[in-house]
Amino acid sequence: MHFIKKNIIIPLVVFIIGMSAVAGIVCSINNEQNKQNRTMANLNAMTYAERMKTDIMKGIAVSDSLRQIIISEDGQLNKFCEIAEEMMADSVQSIQIAPDGVVTDIYPQEGNDAGKIDLLNDKDRGEICRYGRDNKVVTMQGPFQLKQGGYGIVVRNPVYIEENGHEDFWGFAIVIIRVPEIFADSMKALSDFGYNYILYKTAFPWGSEFEEVYGSEEELKNPVSYTFDIGDSKWKLDIMPYKTQSERRYLYAAGIGGVIIVLLLTGFTCALLVLDKHRKKFKKLAITDALTGIYNRHGYDERVTRYLKQNPDNHCVGVEFDIDDFKTINDMYGHVYGDVALKVLSEGMQKFFDKNVVLGRNGGDEFCIFLPDCTCADVKEKLEEFTKLKRSFKYEGEEQQFTISVGYAEYPVHADKPSKLMRCADTALYEVKLRGKNGCMAYKNGLRMEIRTQLGFALKDVSENLPGAFIIYKADKNDDEILFANREFIRFAGCKNMDELLEYTKRSFRNILEWMNGKLL
């Protein structure tokens, strides 16, 4: 369950962080693009606003030329149609004159007869016309819908004729320019460069409220603005770059590439977690005994060595033990039940000892235990209790009892290295075997470590089935030593066990000879 949670949460966190990073990068790229686009938009707004101003000034120039002709003719414009025809352009809808503010002549006349009105007193035009007259400024009004179709802006240029040393208002020279035809080239260039735009002008020369003249259909959000003046009117051009196809592709590519990388990274994280799980599993298998689930000898030695390196001054106890007559169990009941006995023993170990105790299986029926922060005296009773526990396995419905023999030694009293500590415990274990099995014994100085190597456990088992009494001893003129005596010999000597025999003879074979001579005499 813990691994499943870890296997889900960590990749999910990697995915969320990765996607957040991708989103941040894409936003950063987008912001940088927007910043660059806005900088460029500022330059283009200024450039194309000035071009539009120039275009509109061409319409004003037509009215100004007409004004000059009227002045030069002292207000008598006899050939208006011929003059107006010469001044016409594609962006000019009509040219008009309004003596005393009343429109009298319009070119072309067709479709424009209704335009002959009194400008100064007209409800819609009067105020702005009087402003232009009184302030001697060109005024512009519109856009408005033309009867011929499309939209136009009217340019009214007031005309003053000097008479008797002062200027008298003559009327207006008027040009109606078509929008957006007057600045069509500039608008097309903006569109080609990828801009949405809106052109505004103030509704009245004396006001600050803008009205739209012309623009693209898209709504502009946070546009770049450039304001300019034409006469007494203020104009404003708003432009906003839209994402070009290449910019969109770049953002899409960055986003998709980032998502792919995040997915790969998430998958890689999942793979690492699975590999880490298997690595831990394999490492556990490498140091764990497959049958019993406790440490194998490699795992046991690793744990003990690490502990002693970290705590070199602490007293600890190493224990070696095995199942008595385990070969007989295998022979009589089969190896399957031998394995059952090993499992019963390991389960009992895990229940009996604390979590900080290191439990291991050397192989076969041999086990080892490492008890930290204690002495042999501290654990004597506990180990004796552990030794005497009743252990059994079921065979054909019947309980089959088995026992263990235990030997233990203390670090650093008996040994200063982990390997030597376990050899001492093993020597003590063998002493228990020599003395009848199913016992528990601490290592003592004087026990010979090489006995086990020289004799082997098999000697004990073989000797029990041999007829007669016999003894094995080291033959040395000056330092003879009893190594082993079978039960018949111990009984023949009148002793209860091997310990009593060794104590009685002081481990010397010569003492046995003296005792036997004395008995014969």
Same domain, 444 and 471: no
DSSP state of 160: E
Q: Cα 390 vs. chain centroid, distance in angstroms? A: 55
- Which range among 87-96, 141-150, 266-275 shows the weakest confidence by mean pLDDT? 266-275
Q: Which residue has the tokens 């003053």?
A: 160
Residue 164, phi then psi, degrees to nearest 5 = 60, 40
Query: pLDDT of 37-72, one tens digit each?
Result: 888 889 999 999 999 999 999 989 999 999 999 999
Percentage, residues of the chain above pLDDT 90: 49
Query: Average pLDDT for residues 243-272, to the nearest whole number?
Result: 79
Tell me what pLDDT residue 461 has: 55
Same domain, 9 and 103: yes
Same domain, 477 and 449: no
With CA atoms as reference, report the closest residue to 433 among 481, 394, 483, 397: 483
- Can you read off the two tokens belonging to residue 192? 């080609």
Residue 271 lies in a domain: no
DSSP state of 369: E
Same domain, 308 and 328: yes
Residue ranges making up the domain that contains 75: 2-241
438, 460, 482 - which closes a domain: 460
Confidence of residue 217 (pLDDT cuts 50, 70, 90): confident
Residue 258 lies in a domain: no
Same domain, 60 and 197: yes
Query: pLDDT of 362-419, one tens digit each?
Result: 989 999 999 999 999 999 999 999 999 999 999 888 999 999 999 999 999 999 999 8
Same domain, 500 and 425: no
Tell me what pLDDT residue 95 has: 94
- Contact between 41 and 196 under an 8 Å Cβ cutoff? The reply is no
Tell me what pLDDT residue 453 has: 46
DSSP string spanning 239-258?
A: EEE---HHHHHHHHHHHHHH
Same domain, 223 and 314: no
Residue 154 lies in a domain: yes
Tell me what pLDDT residue 449 has: 53
Residue 228 lies in a domain: yes
Which residue has better confidence, 467 or 159? 159
Same domain, 406 and 518: no
Confidence of residue 200 (pLDDT cuts 50, 70, 90): very high
Percentage, residues of the chain above pLDDT 70: 89
Query: pLDDT of 345-355, one tens digit each?
Result: 999 999 999 99
Mean pLDDT for all residues in the chain: 86
Residue 191 lies in a domain: yes
Same domain, 342 and 390: yes
- The total of structural domains in the chain comes to 3
Same domain, 126 and 16: yes
Residue 248 lies in a domain: no
Tell me what pLDDT residue 152 has: 93
Same domain, 452 and 493: no
Tell me what pLDDT residue 84 has: 92
Q: In angstroms, how far apart are the furthest CA atoms of the chain?
A: 183
Query: Average pLDDT for residues 21-35, to the nearest whole number?
Result: 85
Residue 128 lies in a domain: yes
Query: Average pLDDT for residues 1-26, to the nearest whole number?
Result: 80
Confidence of residue 28 (pLDDT cuts 50, 70, 90): confident
Same domain, 421 and 490: no
Q: Is 496 exposed, middle or buried (CB count within 10 Å of its CB: 0-12, 13-18, 19+)? A: exposed
Q: CA 344, CA 292: separation in Å to the nearest integer?
A: 9
Length of the chain: 521
- Which range among 173-182, 183-192, 270-279, 380-389 shows the weakest confidence by mean pLDDT? 270-279
Q: CA 469, CA 499: separation in Å to the nearest integer?
A: 17
- Which range among 79-88, 260-269, 482-491 shows the weakest confidence by mean pLDDT? 482-491
407, 438, 460 - which closes a domain: 460
- CATH no. for residue 445? 3.30.70.270
Q: CA 375, CA 318: separation in Å to the nearest integer?
A: 10
Is the pLDDT at 359 greater than 90? The verdict is yes
Confidence of residue 454 (pLDDT cuts 50, 70, 90): very low
- CATH no. for residue 136? 3.30.450.20
Residue 279 lies in a domain: no
226, 241, 256 - which closes a domain: 241
Tell me what pLDDT residue 287 has: 86
